[in-house]
């Protein structure tokens, strides 16, 4: 009997890549999304990549407890991966209540329905933002969480706590939080990728949109940081590598390999890259010259952060494998695909 995984927010950037990897690993998948932050482009791409026209899709809002409960009562769900949530840092500062209501309520409803209907395995998509400006690099899972610099970051911390407390309190529930570093790139097929609405918040879509002429110029925020080239350092991880980590984590839960009822794993490469290195790497990988300028520092940007992925490597048996030039080539292929080139 195939195990069934519910992917909440599964039509978005990360959710669509995870759906592909789950299907290719032999799982049945139900995708549910309220489409507030995406359209059907990536879901249609998932169907093409997997050759599956019959992937169940439910348009719904997980903030609606009744609809969430109905979804769980009508389907035998073995595990849930929760992506559904608002994710723009700047907007969360301007509209904190919108973020707290949506991101916390949707997750509480998912956990409550999981508990009610015997779905004992909950995987939460967390973030390295919980570490803030770390005192020590690379960051291990033991590093203390810092006060969040935005309501968005705070919802990640609070959802981790809600999951931790729930699995401890209710027998039969287990939880894993994956703390992502900086997911970038697109599927090698160029059929799914990052599809921001309006002006991108993330570096790579802004970079590809500048390369194709949608944006006039890429701004690099600050070149006076205490790093080798003065620009911020990040742990940029290929989206397909990141998606595969979810398959390893789901398998760990379903096959009873967890050592505690609640586990946390860093999902990163362990290798820092500066913003400038990424820009230059993109130019080199794709034979392009980018129009960019150095601007002032941006509020809330951490100087440097990268993962120590040893725990995920050893416990999950997962490792980031794709080369950065391949990742940057796939990001450009996706942008060209969107432009119909």
Closest by CA to 332, choosing from 292, 285, 294, is 285
Query: 198 lies in a domain?
Result: no
- Tens of pLDDT, residue by residue, the chain (341 residues): 899 999 999 999 999 999 999 999 999 999 999 999 999 999 999 999 999 999 999 999 999 999 999 999 999 999 999 999 999 888 999 999 999 999 999 999 999 999 999 999 999 999 999 998 899 999 999 999 999 888 999 999 999 999 999 999 999 999 999 999 999 999 999 999 999 888 888 999 999 999 999 999 999 999 999 999 999 999 999 999 999 999 999 999 999 999 999 999 999 999 999 999 999 999 999 999 999 999 999 887 889 999 999 999 999 999 999 999 999 999 999 999 999 98
At 279-318, the pLDDT tens digits run 999 999 999 999 999 999 988 788 999 999 999 999 999 9
Query: 304 lies in a domain?
Result: yes
The secondary structure of residue 313, as a DSSP letter, is I
83 and 141 inside one domain: yes
29 and 156 inside one domain: yes
208 and 259 inside one domain: no
Query: 56 lies in a domain?
Result: yes
Residue 212, pLDDT score = 97
Query: 327 lies in a domain?
Result: yes
Last residue of a domain, one of 267, 288, 309: 267
Whether the CB-CB separation of 243 and 50 falls below 8 Å is answered with no
Whether the CB-CB separation of 222 and 232 falls below 8 Å is answered with yes
Whether the CB-CB separation of 269 and 242 falls below 8 Å is answered with no
Query: 195 lies in a domain?
Result: no
179 and 252 inside one domain: yes
With tokens 């329905």, the residue in question is 113
Q: What is the CATH number of the domain that holds 301?
A: 3.90.25.10
Whether the CB-CB separation of 230 and 224 falls below 8 Å is answered with yes
106 and 242 inside one domain: yes
255 and 219 inside one domain: no
Q: What is the CATH number of the domain that holds 145?
A: 3.40.50.720
Active-site residue, from 99, 131, 152, 225: 152
88 and 165 inside one domain: yes
Residue 301, pLDDT score = 87
Last residue of a domain, one of 267, 286, 308: 267
Element (H, E) at 179: strand 174-180
Whether the CB-CB separation of 159 and 145 falls below 8 Å is answered with no
**Cβ-count burial of 74 within 10 angstroms (0-12 exposed, 13-18 middle, 19+ buried)?**
exposed
Residue 197, pLDDT score = 84
Whether the CB-CB separation of 8 and 62 falls below 8 Å is answered with yes
- β-partners of residue 33 are 59
26 and 92 inside one domain: yes
124 and 263 inside one domain: yes
Residue 12, pLDDT score = 96
Residue 148, pLDDT score = 87
pTM: 0.97
Query: 190 lies in a domain?
Result: no
Residue 158, pLDDT score = 98
Token output for 49: 């990549």
Query: 89 lies in a domain?
Result: yes
**Cβ-count burial of 62 within 10 angstroms (0-12 exposed, 13-18 middle, 19+ buried)?**
buried
Domain hosting 314: range is 203-234+270-338
Number of domains in the chain: 2
160 and 63 inside one domain: yes
- β-partners of residue 177 are 124, 264
With both helix axes pointing from N to C terminus, report the angle between 41-50 and 13-24 in degrees, rounded to the nearest 10: 20
Query: 147 lies in a domain?
Result: yes
157 and 76 inside one domain: yes
- Active-site residue flag, 152: yes
**Cβ-count burial of 34 within 10 angstroms (0-12 exposed, 13-18 middle, 19+ buried)?**
buried
255 and 109 inside one domain: yes
Last residue of a domain, one of 267, 282, 311: 267
């Amino acid at each position: 009997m195939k195990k069934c995984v519910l992917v909440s927010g599964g039509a978005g950037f990360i959710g669509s890549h995870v759906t592909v990897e789950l299907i290719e690993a032999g799982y049945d998948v139900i995708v549910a999304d309220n489409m507030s932050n995406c359209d059907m482009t990536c879901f249609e791409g998932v169907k093409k990549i997997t050759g599956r026209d019959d992937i169940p899709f439910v348009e719904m809002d997980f903030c609606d407890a009744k609809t969430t409960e109905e979804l769980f009562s009508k389907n035998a769900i073995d595990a849930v991966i929760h992506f559904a949530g608002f994710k723009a840092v700047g907007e969360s500062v301007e509209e904190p209540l919108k973020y707290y209501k949506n991101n916390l309520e949707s997750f509480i409803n998912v956990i409550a329905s999981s508990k009610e209907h015997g779905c004992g395995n909950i995987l939460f998509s967390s973030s390295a933002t919980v570490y803030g400006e770390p005192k020590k690099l690379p960051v291990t899972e033991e590093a203390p969480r810092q006060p969040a610099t935005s309501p968005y970051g705070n919802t990640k911390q609070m959802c981790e706590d809600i999951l931790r407390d729930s699995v401890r309190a209710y027998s039969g529930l287990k939880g894993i939080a994956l703390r992502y570093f900086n997911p970038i790139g697109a599927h090698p097929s160029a059929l799914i990728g990052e599809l921001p609405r309006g002006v991108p918040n993330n570096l790579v879509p802004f970079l590809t949109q500048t390369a194709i002429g949608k944006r006039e110029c890429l701004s690099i925020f600050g070149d006076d940081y205490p790093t080798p080239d003065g620009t911020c350092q990040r742990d940029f991880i290929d989206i397909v590598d990141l998606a595969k980590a979810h398959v390893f984590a789901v398998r760990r839960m379903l096959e009873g390999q967890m050592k505690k009822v609640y586990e946390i794993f860093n999902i990163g490469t362990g290798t820092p890259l500066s913003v400038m290195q990424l820009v230059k790497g993109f130019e080199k990988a794709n034979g392009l010259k980018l129009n960019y300028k150095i601007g002032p520092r941006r509020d809330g940007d951490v100087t440097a952060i990268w993962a120590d992925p040893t725990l995920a490597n050893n416990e999950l048996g997962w490792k980031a494998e794709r080369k950065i030039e391949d990742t940057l080539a796939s990001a450009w292929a996706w942008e060209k695909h969107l432009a119909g080139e």
